[in-house]
Amino acid sequence: MSADETANDEYDEPLFFQVMQYAARTDRDVVGMVSGNPDWEPPAALRDGLREYADADPPQLQYPASEGLRYLREEIAARRNVDASRIVVTNGTGEANYLAMARAMERDAGREFLLTDPVYPYYPGKATMLGGTATKVPVLESGAPDVAAMREAASPETAAVLVNTPNNPTGAVYDRETVESLLEIAEENDALLLVDEVYDHFDFSGEFESALTLDSDRVVVTTGFSKSMAITGFRVGYAVFPNHLVEAAKTRHMLVNVATTRPGQVAVHRALEETPTEYYEETRGMLRERIASFTDALDAAGATYTTPKGAFYVMARFEDFPGTIANVERLIDEAGVAGMPGEAFGEAYDDWIRFALVTPRADEAAERLADYFA
């Protein structure tokens, strides 16, 4: 057994903020492609919802139900075809993942999280904070999980298999067969399958299918509105738990946060109700164009790169320029482009640098990279 949660104070802070601060401190013009902060407009109805809320009567400014506003949970439930009682509205997908991971540990059926490498760095951070361990299994060349290697790595110590699809940072979209296999691995080891689907609105492949459709009492799906509505600062997400796991998750949510911010919930609900599908289609269209022109420029720079099937990140590899934090800082200073070091995501992609396509200047960034590496 590993040490308990609160005995671990050595968990690492993810590097995102550190890199962004470095980029902000430099004097030169830098194209920022570090964090997954959308630069596009949120749905108009979201702004309307917030504006109207600013004039709400005092009772509307007070605690929402701890598990989330009833009408928001019902709207989500109808869209996701699940019972509203299974939903906890959280302080972003970040808290949803925390609740799901804590729930996996509380089952007392293992303390290990089985992750992919590369991995979203918050997952191992949360695992360690919760007193668990993180085992990272390198993905296949395609970016898809190596199911055979994950099966090999799994054991009764495995508390949960935790994956993210569409994937940050690889851009892979896991096909249904893969996710079913991951569920089997969870079943074989009395573990949960946690699937973070926060990029669910950014599937360019047409292959994405939510793990909710597996209809399994071992699956927890987490997601949020940060990316799909371009509001990472609002902090509204949710988790869908199986019935037998949801009550304790709601209690933890209450004890940690009391409730999720109400202005955000109200605005998101309004946007869910009124935003036409064209909004999401247009965003995807814009991102497709950015991906195409950024990767064209990377071709010109002689770089190797991933073409995302989902999410909005491109991983690029430049000859003799591994994805260390030192090199990323060099790129900021010398090329005027800020990315995330591949080493922040594990070892499998530590030669790579991740670029978030959240700027209209992605082309310019690619040209700068081409010049720099010429």
Site for a copy of itself in 72-91 (CB under 8 A): 91
User: Cα–Cα distance between 19 and 308 in angstroms, integer?
Assistant: 23
Closer residue to a copy of itself in complex, CB, 95/146 = 95
Question: Which ranges of 136-206 would DSSP assign to H, the alpha helix?
Answer: 147-153, 176-188
Rounded to a whole number of angstroms, the minimum distance from the CB of residue 193 to a copy of itself is: 18
Among 73, 80, 201, 235, binds a copy of itself (CB under 8 A): 235
Residues in contact with a copy of itself, shown as a per-residue x/- string from 215 to 234 under the rule CB under 8 A: ---------------xxxxx
Least Å distance, CB 147 to a copy of itself, is 27
Q: Does 130 bind a copy of itself (CB under 8 A)?
A: yes
Question: Does the footprint of a copy of itself cover residue 152 (CB under 8 A)?
Answer: no
CA angle 24, 352, 131 (to 5 degrees): 80
Among 68, 94, 110, 169, binds a copy of itself (CB under 8 A): 94
214 contacts 179 by C-beta, under 8 angstroms: yes
CB of 12 to a copy of itself, least distance (A): 8
Residue 82: phi and psi, rounded to 5, are -130, 165
Minimum distance, C-beta of residue 280 to a copy of itself, in the bound complex (Å): 16
* Residue from the set 27, 63, 206, 326 that interacts with a copy of itself by CB under 8 A: 63
DSSP state of 98: H
| Closer of 291 and 356 to a copy of itself (Cβ) | 356
For residue 66, state whether it binds a copy of itself (rule: CB under 8 A): yes
Residue 8 interacting with a copy of itself (CB under 8 A): yes
Look at strands 133-138 and 337-338 and give their pairing: unpaired
233 — phi, psi (to 5°)?
-80, -10
Q: Show the tokens assigned to 113.
A: 């999280």
List the interface residues with a copy of itself, window 107-126 (CB under 8 A): 108, 122, 125-126
Q: Does 37 help bind a copy of itself (rule: CB under 8 A)?
A: yes
Which of 125, 264, 262, 109 shows the shortest CA–CA distance to 190? Answer: 109
Identify which of residues 92 and 143 has a Cβ nearer to a copy of itself in the complex.
92
Cα–chain center distance at 349: 17
The candidate with the shortest Cα–Cα distance to 334, out of 19, 15, 16, 26, is 26
Shortest distance (Å) from residue 56 CB to a copy of itself: 9
Asked if 24 touches a copy of itself (CB under 8 A), the answer is no
Selected from 22, 30, 33, 42, the binder of a copy of itself by CB under 8 A is 42
Nearer to a copy of itself, 142 or 251 (CB): 251
H-helix segments, 146-220: 147-153, 176-188
**Residue 134: in which H helix or E strand, if any?**
strand 133-138
Choose one: 59-67, 161-169, 286-294, 330-338; the region binding a copy of itself (CB under 8 A). Answer: 59-67
Chain positions 241 to 270 lying near a copy of itself, rule: CB under 8 A, are: 248, 250-252, 254-264, 267
Is residue 5 involved in binding a copy of itself (CB under 8 A)?
Answer: yes
Contacts of 54 (CB under 8 A, 6+ apart): none
Tell me the sheet residues that pair with 113.
134, 160
Asked if 329 and 25 touch (Cβ cutoff 8 Å), the reply is: no
Side chain identity at residue 257, one-letter code: N
